[in-house]
Structure 1
């Protein structure tokens, strides 16, 4: 005899009453949530409750974390959406610790010169072909009056050198061409570009910059570094229309969303870009939070620095978080400032070449830092080489002694690739927050070992393990568009430190996956003074969330690059989603 289900054996009146009670119970919840997530690992980044069964979200805010039963009892109403994760993993949204959001937009309208696996740039001939193809297949170069190539890397070129102006002239002599190095600190310009810029044999090197010369010692060969390159870049960049600027920012925003970022940094904002970002925000174009750090030297007189946008709170998803100073250049471009000579000095430099500071005079850098401290502006300082980090430590100590009133400054060291072991406790004493760059171990680890610093020093680049063992919070970043804002590449690099040649560079500096995730979520939220509102899945915080295909904490570290971002949720709203079960 077939068994009759229990509910079917109840009298009709009792059945109706029972179902009515269920609906009444749902309706009786005082403050029902919009969504309850359950059914998969939930990594909160909150050490008190690191793993929970369910999360309730209402009106873009996390209102409950705990067991599914508890949350359904407290927050499930008739309209509450139950989101079954189906075994996928929920984590906080990624907080971008350092990149250049606006330049990711520029990258979207430039020829891709990246080396494999991200682009075709394996030789100078390949760079020429990529520029020529872009010129013939896109109308942008003619519209803008300049052909931009983005992210070539001399360390990965067959020739192991920078291209020359003559090699760019082979692509065009009538249109200015600038090929921007992957570090962002150097660029090569063709003869037409040099003509437009007014740079010739009699042009002196600017302070903090170099115009490289041909064998005669005077004729520019097309390569420029640091302040010389930055000035040329800003002069040649097109005067984008508002519509073009918005299109680029939208493209950049989608790239970050596809990688799970719900907070994005613009890490060295120029004056024009700063105003453009403010206008874009006011017009409602930003769906994620964008925090800008204007270059203090370039924006010194900008009234926006003293306006309401310099704030700890967002207006239309935008705020100015502080200011940026740059103390040296790029180690892979061999412009970082060391206390020791480069393992192999760059062409045209002496054997004792160790790079150079961008502020040769401590007094000027100290004055600018003091201005920022006096105004209550957070300071981020780009310092790669150990000599530049020494300068940061020295000046921070001086300024903090002179201006002791500010209790919590959170001055940020950006990159810190050649941080020495003896410098870490000095950072801790001064409250300098390290934002490190372990992605370099993949992209340039071999170059660091064989050419920049030698085998021993290279093992300690971006020493996340040592900083973690010291008890300090820190963050890790992409520095996009130097590298793509690929969240899983950031995670994989920090946990594996595998170079292009499959060498593990400094195995003791590897992180476990959970620590690396904290360095991408709650710790960069702290870096930005936002740890009370985002960076972890906790009651009362903004529902900035990411759904991943797998749980990074339970995977072998070698498998992390295969994890996919399935969905990105900002304030409870899905802004990016792939098709998944």
Structure 2
């Protein structure tokens, strides 16, 4: 018996397929695209049901989020203390906080509602770079919230956190602690700011044991994340750092197996606890659970830290205005020592996996490029598409090398709006800040690229990300890098087919053409018709996933 066919009509279909850029109708069968074109062109495949739900709307390929974290679905279980106003999954807007005193006040209100006096209190979204050049948050500041209860405040970047003295005592940190990333005050005691994984790990372990905190592996977290993603037009997203525990994989499979689950999910294995051949074997075992809606096979290596947290690795002349309390060298921290990068890449490269490398600073990007060059010399492999994630400070010379090696980039374009002013005045200085996230140069050099939000670092919203790359406006309204602006069409390509390419999924998603999954973003407005400065305001009606219609307001 022939499967049923549905023909969707639309005011306009932006296909992202160069051989047929626009259409008015798309035929769907078995969750895949059967045909695209005019009504007459798609009607030759036998009996079909007409669906005019989108007759007054614009269809695009479902947006592809190439660097996000399922934490976006669980962080709202805790207290938002960020600088910017932010909307939670229920629609409530949490006002941003513009001082450490305001952060302390919100945390004190929250802890007063907790019944268990020893349960840790967790805040998130904090970033001291927005508070001027005054003192950074200390353990004494958080002691004002509680002296008995562990209080933990995670930074917006998730590369640093602050704790009170009760937390330091609970994890055994003091003046004799010799872990890199634990700065000390004038008396030799930890300041309460912990930088990067080695320093943060004991606290994260405490939160896991006492507050159920996880990296987003539970089923409810996946659902919460997926609902947020659907509301902004995303149909495929990564979770770009997942330990892939047995329970975590089972939970992700249970969530994505539900026909109502509204996105395709691609978790990337973060091999923090695996060495040698154990990591590739662990990832290979996870791949046995692959389905159309859950794909394993990516690996995430983290080389350096956060630029705004002053823990990223920068080439000379390093930081423009270093606060002097980050790293042992004043130039950030290596999370993966340079001497180990090539061997780590090689262990996954040889097994056919795709490696995504977190490199914020240009020194880290250079180390990654050198390592990939070494690996390819020893183990040639066409079409690997290894990708530099963030790659915020790569220059034209690095991009030229990336093109030669077949490397991709995934730029953190949202950074331009949120931290552009800080990069101009504090981290990079004017010249380097203006070439950060160099999408235009990548186009000229022929480096395939996508763009991302790194949610929960910044909110999910591909159209906002495209707006950032097109306009390059900072929070203050400064145009940061006029020559690195790209056009709307290129920005829309980056959040669809461009990111799909970086995930080796371009044969299945990213454009509306025969054979691909019937995944669409449904828009109220035409993004190619509005003024570029209005791109972020294009309204999302909902999505279609595998032919299943999913309105944004659906519970």
Please give the TM-score of this superposition, normalised by the length of structure 1: 0.87
Distance 1:349 1:144 in 2: 30
Aligned partner (choices 227, 232, 237) of residue 207 of structure 2: 237
User: Which residue of the partner structure matches residue 358 of structure 1?
Assistant: 335
Q: 1:232 to 1:349 in 2, by over 3 A?
A: closer
Match of 1:423 in 2: 398
Cα shift at 1:105: 2.4
Give, in angstroms, the shift of residue 137 of structure 1: 4.6
Deviations 1:98-137 (A, max 9, x none): 1112x11231211111212334221101211222233335
Cα 1:183/1:559, change in 2 over 3 Å = same
Structure 1 position 86, deviation (Å): 3.8
Q: Is the 8 A contact 1:110 1:148 kept in 2?
A: yes
Shift of 1:431: 0.9
Distance of aligned partners of 1:159 and 1:423 in 2 relative to their CA distance in 1, 3 Å threshold: closer
Matches within 5 A, 1:531-550: 531-550=506-525
Quote the residue 1:465 is aligned against: 440
Within the candidate set 97, 107, 129, 2:75 is matched to: 107
CA distance in 2, matches of 1:425, 1:280: 38
Q: Distance in 2 between matches of 1:131 and 1:246?
A: 28
Match of 2:373 among 383, 397, 412: 397
Cα offsets for 1:290-349 (capped at 9, x unmatched): 1111122324436862544337x9327222222111111111111111112211012346
Equivalence map 1:140-219=2 (5 Å) = 142=116, 145-157=119-131, 160-205=134-179, 209-216=180-187, 218-219=188-189
Change in Cα spacing, 1:75 to 1:465, as seen in structure 2 (3 Å) is farther
Partner Cα separation in structure 1 for residue 403 and residue 484 of structure 2: 18
Q: SS of the residue aligned with 2:495?
A: coil
Structure 1 stretch displaced more, 282-291 or 319-328? 282-291
CA contact (8 A) 2:124 2:155 kept: yes
TM-score by length of 2: 0.91
Task: Tell me which residue corresponds to 1:269.
Answer: 242
State how 1:32-71 maps to structure 2 within 5 Å: 34-71=5-42
In the other structure, the counterpart of 1:249 is 222
- Larger CA deviation: 88-97 vs 342-351: 342-351
Aligned to 2:295: 319
Give the Å deviation of 1:391.
0.3
Name the structure 2 match of 1:344.
Answer: 321
RMSD, matched Cα:
2.5
1:423 is displaced (CA, Å) by 0.6
1:368-394 CA distances to partner (integer Å, 9 max, x unpaired)? 112111222211111111111110111
Conservation of the 8 A alpha-carbon contact between 2:469 and 2:485:
yes
**Aligned CA distance change for structure 1 residues 135 and 564 (closer, same or farther; 3 Å):** farther
Q: Deviations over 1:38-75 (max 9, x none)?
A: 23111001111111121111221111101023324545
Q: Equivalents in 1 of 2:14, 2:200: separation in Å?
A: 42
Give 1:478's aligned residue. Answer: 453
Aligned to 2:64: 95
Deviation at 1:198, TM superposition (A): 1.1
**Residue of 190, 200, 203 corresponding to 1:220:** 190
Structure 2 Cα separation of the partners of residues 87 and 53 of structure 1: 11
**Structure 2: tracts of 5 or more residues without a match:** 87-94
Question: Counterparts in 2 of 1:364-443, with a 5 A limit?
Answer: 364-404=340-380, 406-443=381-418
> Match of 1:15?
none
Give the equivalent residue in structure 2 for 1:130.
106
Query: Aligned pair in 2 of structure 1 residues 513, 303: CA closer, same or farther (>3 Å)?
Result: closer
- In the TM superposition, residue 261 of structure 1 has moved relative to its aligned partner by 1.2
Tell me how far apart the structure 2 counterparts of residues 563 and 56 of structure 1 sit (CA, whole Å): 25
Aligned to 2:91: none
Does 2:545 align with 1:570? yes
Report SS of the residue matched to 1:55.
strand
Secondary structure of the residue that 2:129 maps to in structure 1?
Answer: helix
Contact residue 108 and residue 252 of structure 1 kept, 8 A: no
Task: Find the counterpart in structure 1 of residue 252 from structure 2.
Answer: 280
Match of 2:90 in 1: none
Assess if the C-alpha contact under 8 Å between 1:93 and 1:545 holds in 2.
yes
- Determine the C-alpha separation between the residues in 2 that align with 1:524 and 1:356: 28
Q: Distance in 1 between matches of 2:388 and 2:195?
A: 22
CA distance in structure 2 between the partners assigned to 1:435 and 1:398 by the alignment? 22
* Residues 441 and 306 of structure 1: CA distance in aligned 2, closer, same or farther (over 3 Å): closer
1:39/1:469 Cα in 2 relative to 1: closer, same or farther (>3 Å)? same
Superposition pairs of residues 456-535 of structure 1, within 5 angstroms: 456-535=431-510
Task: Point out where structure 1 has 5 or more consecutive residues left out of the alignment.
Answer: 1-29
Residues 417 and 462, structure 1, Cα contact 8 Å, conserved in 2: yes
Determine the C-alpha separation between the residues in 1 that align with 2:99 and 2:349. 46
Native 8 Å contact 1:410 1:431 kept in 2: yes
* Corresponding position of 1:12: none
Q: Is the 8 A contact 1:155 1:161 kept in 2?
A: no
Distance change in 2, residues 1:514/1:144 (3 Å): farther
How many pairs does the alignment contain? 537
Q: Give the SS at the match of 1:398.
A: helix
In the alignment, structure 1 residue 81 sits paired with structure 2 residue 50: yes
> Contact between 1:264 and 1:290, CA under 8 Å: does it hold in 2?
yes
Q: How far apart in 2 are the matches of 1:346 and 1:153? A: 14
**Equivalent residue of 2:522, what SS?**
strand
Distance, in Å, in 1 between the alignment partners of 2:429 and 2:132 is 21
Maintained 8 Å contact 1:213/1:220: yes
